[in-house]
Structures are given as structure tokens and as C-alpha cells.
A and B are shown apart, each in its own frame.
Chain A
Amino acid sequence: MWIHIGKSRSPDCTAAAREASQEALRGADAATFALVLCTDQYDAVALASAVREQLGDIPWAGCSAAGVFAGTELLLQGLVIALFLGDDFRVGVGMGGPVSERPRAAGRAAVAEAVSQLPPKPPGHRRALLILPDALSGNPTEVVRGAQQEAGAGIRWAGGGAGNNLRFVKTAQFTQGRAYQDQVVVIAFDAREPFGVGIQHGWSPYGPPSQVTKARGATAVELDYESAFDVYQRTAASRGDALDAQSFARFAMTHPLGIPQANGEFVIRDPLSVDPDGSVRFVAEIPDGSLVRVMEGKRTDLLDAAAGAATLARQATPGALGGAVVFDCVSRYLLLEEGVQDELSRFQNALGAGVPVVGCLTLGEVGAMGGGVPQFHNKTAVVVALPG
């Protein structure tokens, strides 16, 4: 398995599709599958039509994102297409939805459809599922749980929430040559060699733990029997930061919540906004009863985490790599700013020079941190190393 990547910065759908496709197809034999990632400036429907025209019979899937990258080149306006080549793997694509209404069922349906398109898994083959939910609709945590419930254990999980540049207006999911909203797309791979998946974030807790005393889905209503925002304010004050509703978004960008795991890791939850009653809305579910921590991230830690994720992925994939797919949280880019280039380099370096890397800046990430069942994460980097 190896990938050919094509990219285009053209804002025009047709041109972008043509340029990216032609570059990807150049020198490539019959492709089995194409992963299509684009920024959100495009008209998703027109872009899907253009890509469909370019790729012909090649099945493809993907999503929109705040940014896409090919190797270490970040495109905040552009399209990347990664052609998956080789005969040592099989691909199936499924879609489920609407996730805003039945997130768990959507996850299950998408996995079931994707797996159903695969031939019976030959003995010794490994399965990997890339899951691309609409992170602006519904509860992506439940989407992932539904996907896991359908697929079972023994699978490498990765993925990222389709997003945009944090305008949080709309996202697009691509499959069957068309663009959709409020869906989850699952790409299932069966390959002879395992897909290595690394997942790290680099965030650390500070301050006292706060118990989630009242939560409603992705909204923390109360922490320690006070409004969640009050706790946030107090925590910020302990660091000498004054915090109000207007400045919350900026503060929250660098101060997510961490949900402790037994293995010492934290699942990160990205705050989005403050409601009038002091509740704080997050990108994903806040578990009731847990002792959450306000997290902080140092630049170096984040970059180290990126390298760590890539390293873990590389280590989990034996032999040469045919490429890598990276789902990197858009908020890391917003935090690192131009330093994101360093992050992309760290990915590349850890994976190895010359390994084709394609990726996007996502709104939430999917992976099994430290093993076990997959979860929906925030502010995290997920690297999938493709066996060559």
C-alpha cells in the first residue's frame, strides 16, 4: 500500500480538483481508493462534482477541514487528494446519519456499511477504521461509541471531526462522489500489515481538580456544585488571568478540560462557549461525576506530542511505510500559529523523510489513547502510519 498525494491551492473547485487529481494520478497505477480533504471555502457540492469527474471510477471519501496539508505544506485554502495504491488492502466506505438526531446509530450504520463492502477478511489481515464525523452536529462521542459497538475490538481506530476554520457554520462529508452534512463517514481498511496509530496531545493539568456535579451531554452545567464558568474563572484567577464571557473563548483555547484516564492520560475536552447560566459548552461529552482538570499546554509539549504520536504510529507499523494520514486538531494550529509548520515537520520527521503524509486540521480527533476502545478527543494529534 502506498499513497500518491496531489494538492491544489486553487480556490476554484474545478481547477482545484483537476490540479490535485492530476498530481495525485501522475505516475500512479490503478488506485483502489482516494482520500479527499479540502478546506471549507469551497462549495462542497461543486467540489464533489469536480472531484468525481476527475477521479472517475475510483471510490473516494473525505471531509472538509480548517486546513489541509501534504507533507509539511499546510494549505489554508486548498484541496489534497491521496490516492491509495496497491493490492495488499481492501477498502470499504460507509455513511450514517443524521448524527444530530441519532449519533450512536449513525456510527453503527456507517461502520456496518463500510465493513459490508469489504470481502471476508483473510486470516492475518488487520482492520483499521478511519472515522470522519460531522463534529458540529450532535454528539461525536456517541458517534464513536456507536462505531465501536458495531465493529468490536481488535481494530485500529483513527479519525477526525470534519470541521472548518472555527467559524463553526458547516462541514462537509464526502462519499459516493457527493457531499453531505450531518453525517459520519467511515473508511474501513483490511490490510495484510497493521496500521500503526499514534495519539498524543501534550496537555498537562494544573490547579485543583473539579468534580463534574452536573452535566448534560457536551455541556458542563456545574463543577463542584458551582457554575462551570465560575470554576473556570477561579482557576484563571489563580494564574493571575481575569476571565469574562467575552475573553473566555481565547482563554479556553489554551485551557481545555482534561478527563483523567486510569493510565494517567487525559482525554481533552475543548470548551466552545459560555451559556447565560454559566454552563460551559464543549466540543464533546463531559462525563458526569468525573474529576476534571483545567489543562494547559506548552508549545514544546505540543510539538513533542506531535512527534510522539507520529513515533508511536511509526513504531506500530512494521516495515516501510506507504504513507501516513494525520488528523491534527485545528486548535493546536491556532495555538501554535506559524509554529504549526514545526509540528508538521515533527510528524514528517518521526514518520521518516520521504513518507508521503496527508492530513487535515480537524474539529476533534478519534483514537484509542493508550490502547483499548476508541474515544473522541480534542486538541490532539492522531497519526496513522500506513504499512508499505
Chain B
Amino acid sequence: MNAHKILLLLIGLSIMGCSDLEEEPVGLLSPDGFFSTPEDIQIGVNASLTHAINEEVWGRKLSVALMLRSDMVNLNSTQTRRVEMNMHTITGDNEMVFDPWTRIYLGIAAANNAIAGAEQVDAADDIKNPIAAQAYFARAFYYFHLVRLFGDVPYIDTPVSDIAAATNLSNTPEAEIYEKIISDLEYAEQWLPNTVATRATPSKAAAKSYLALVYLTRAGTNGTADFQMAYDKAKEVITNKGTYDVDLDPDFQTLFNANKIDASKEPIFALDYNNNEAPDNAYDQIAPMTGIRGDDDGGNGGWSVATPTIAVFNSFDPDDYRTRVSFQTEALINDTTVDYTDFQSSGHEHAVNAPYIAKYLRFPGPFARGNKRATSHNYSMIRYAEVLLIAAEAGVEIGAADALDFLNEVRGRARNGGESTNGGYVPETIAPNAVPADLASITVADVLEERRIELAFECKRWYDIKRRQLGDQVFSASGYEGAKPDWNASVDYDTPIPQDEIDRNPNLSN
């Protein structure tokens, strides 16, 4: 054959190669084949956990909603979505429902992704399962919020591939979701390590503590078997506190001091906040939401949206160290230190003459935006004191003798005093004192009251009111916020599923 034939033959043959037409996107972050190393599982876990710090969840919308729905925090704002929270008139269009709903499900999807991804990672179980267990923990953490807020919700525990089927899901009953949460936490309990470098990484103690809280919550007012399991799980943490490196912090103020909290043993699971104005509002705004309007501190103070009533303040023993740590009674306004009876001297319409919540605004640590936005305060989601109180409450229910000891241990720590302030921003060392004294015997009501004082403004109270069905009592005229005329126990314990979501899938219902 001469040259041109060879040439043509070559052209003819070389270009016949058939492509399989599969796309191989290099520049696109494709989920297919993403998970190949244990580090990749961690990347998925990181995504799941970071959705919790977002303004749509703990950064503001969920945390503030939980405060407003409790009997301890009042509203100084006319925004409808907040009024609905405070007055228990929540509609399906409320952003403080919609935003946490969407963002929590983003966290669940990221966890599902990591869990499914772990299956594809070729590594020994003892290498990859402890990482995957963080995702199981995260998924349980998110569903536990959902089930406490909404009751029945759609349940998904794998990456969604069949869009049509997933779009038509119905709600999964609350009881089934509890089973799934418990199963996830048991996996986490099995594989998570005893200790972790930061409490923002889930640990074995975190899984056990949450299991205790889940059982306690599911027990409601009379679930004896669950009370027993709650007691058992809490005790596993208490008995092994050395192994898990958890304990009460000697100084109650440390728990609400961003500069000290990371070294404390008390937080068991926390969220990782940094002084970073991260994209997509992935930062904290609780500090400004609870901050004092017109306060000179923190670049023009806070926004005075969520404040306690004076009745709440008065319900605390003034000699209890926890009162000083929990309430801001002084502020610097126009270069003058004033007490709470003069907080309105700033002239701002939303400022109130009452003590403010101090747990967020006093020691926010470095923050990235004015009004103490984007703080570096790693808020505790569960801490050792709560584990003691779970053991105490469940213990009372099952008649355990040591229930009283656990409660008194919490009260005892408060008597230590510590490095706090005068109620404003002036540092003061508070000497140990005799208040609160140990109790000689306790009832369930005593434990709930102890939780109210110890965990005040930590977004625990609404869930306590719901699980103990306290609404009719605490939202009556004798409640700390006075009568809530719209409170209706038959509907208001459950949050309505967002209407927008029902529009997208009419199979969902409230």
C-alpha cells in the first residue's frame, strides 16, 4: 500500500474509537466515588456537624425559638415569627420552624452520606467505624431534635437516589424514630473513642449521655422501662467519668466563658463556633439576640430580642452563684455603669429594664462581627451536670437511692463560687457560700426545678415542659411570663411541619 492509503487507513481507524459516553467530571464535586479513605468519611461528618452551628439551627433560629417557647424568656420584638414562638401560635409559615427544619435535614443528609460512604472505604473496622460512628451520632442528634419538635416526621437514613419515591414519603411515627435514634446512638456508643481532642467531636460519653436523655425523654411522665435505661446510661457515664475524662467543672462561670470552656471537663458534646463570619451564616447570633440594646460592650451591645421576665429573675435565689452567672444585672451604657433598672437609659425602644441572659453575652470570646456576632463560644449541647440530673430524675422515678446524691452534687458545685463578675463586666471572685444547701429528699418536681435553675437559658426548658406536660401549669397566670392566652395543650406541644414542605409533599401532615 502506498502512503496515502496508509494515511487514510490510520485516520479511518483512529477515529472509530467508541466512547462509552460516561461523564467523568473533574471540576465537579461528585458524590460518586468521593469516599475512598477514612479522611473522606471525616469530611462528610464535618459537613453534618457544621449544619448545627448555622444561624438556621443553633446560631439563632432553633435556639432562640426554644428559649421563647419556654416559660423563662420573653420577647421584645414584634416580628411575627418570634411572636408566634413566644405566644404559642406557631403557623406552618414560620421561618423559625422552616429554617431549622431544612437545615437539620441538611445535617441528616450529610450524615447519611458519610455513613453510606464509609461502606465504600476500604479500611479496617477499627479505623473507619469510629469515624462513621460520629455520623451516626450526628444523625441521632438531629432526629432527636426533630422528634421532640414535630413528633412524626419523614425519616431517611440513606443517601437519596430515588427522588420520586423520596418525594412521596409519609411521616414515620414518633415511636419508630425513637427506635432509630437509639439504634444510631448504640452504634456510636460502641465505636466512638473514650476521649476526644475537642468536645465538638462526639465521644463514647456523648453517645451514652444522649442515650440517657433520649430514654428520659421517651419515658415522658410514666415510662418505667425507659426511666430505668435512662438511669443506667447516665450512671455508666458517672461511674466511668475518669475513663471518659468528664466531670463537673468546679466553677459554674467557666461553662459560659468562651475563653475557658474548651479546657473544662464538663462539656460532653459541644458545637464548634469560631470568630469567623463564615459563608451561608454558619455562625452564632445568640449573643446579640440576648444582648443588651445600647450596651457599650461588644460594639453597640446586643438586640434585646430575648430577655427573661423579672419574675424569672426573682425565682432564682439571689445568693445562689448560678444566679450571678445566669443574669446580667449591670451594663455599660453611654460610658456609665448602670444596673438593670436603668437599662432603658440608652433610649432604644426595645431595651428593657430587667436583668438579661448573661450566659451568652458576658464572655463571648473573640467575635467576628459587631454586636458580638460570630462568637467563638463552643456551646455545650449536653454537659456532665445534666447527666447527673438525668440520673437523679430517672433515679427518683425508679426509686434509686443515689438519685438524691446526684442532685446534691450539682447543688454542691454551685456553692463553690468562682471567677465571675459583679453581674456586669467587672471581674469579681466569689467566695464559696452555703447556698444552695443540700436537699434531704427529692421529688421529680425538685429535679425539674433544679434543671430549670442549673440549665437556665440553655434551650433545655421547652423540651422539659413538653416531656413532662407542664404547659397548662407554667403558661397559666402563675407562670413566670404570666398567662399565655393562646396556649392549648392539645396542639401546641408539637410544632407544625412547614407548610412549604407539605406543599412539596402533600403526603406529609401535621
Q: Do A and B bind each other?
A: no
**A contact set with B: CB distance below 8 Å:** none
B-to-A contact residues, CB < 8 Å: none
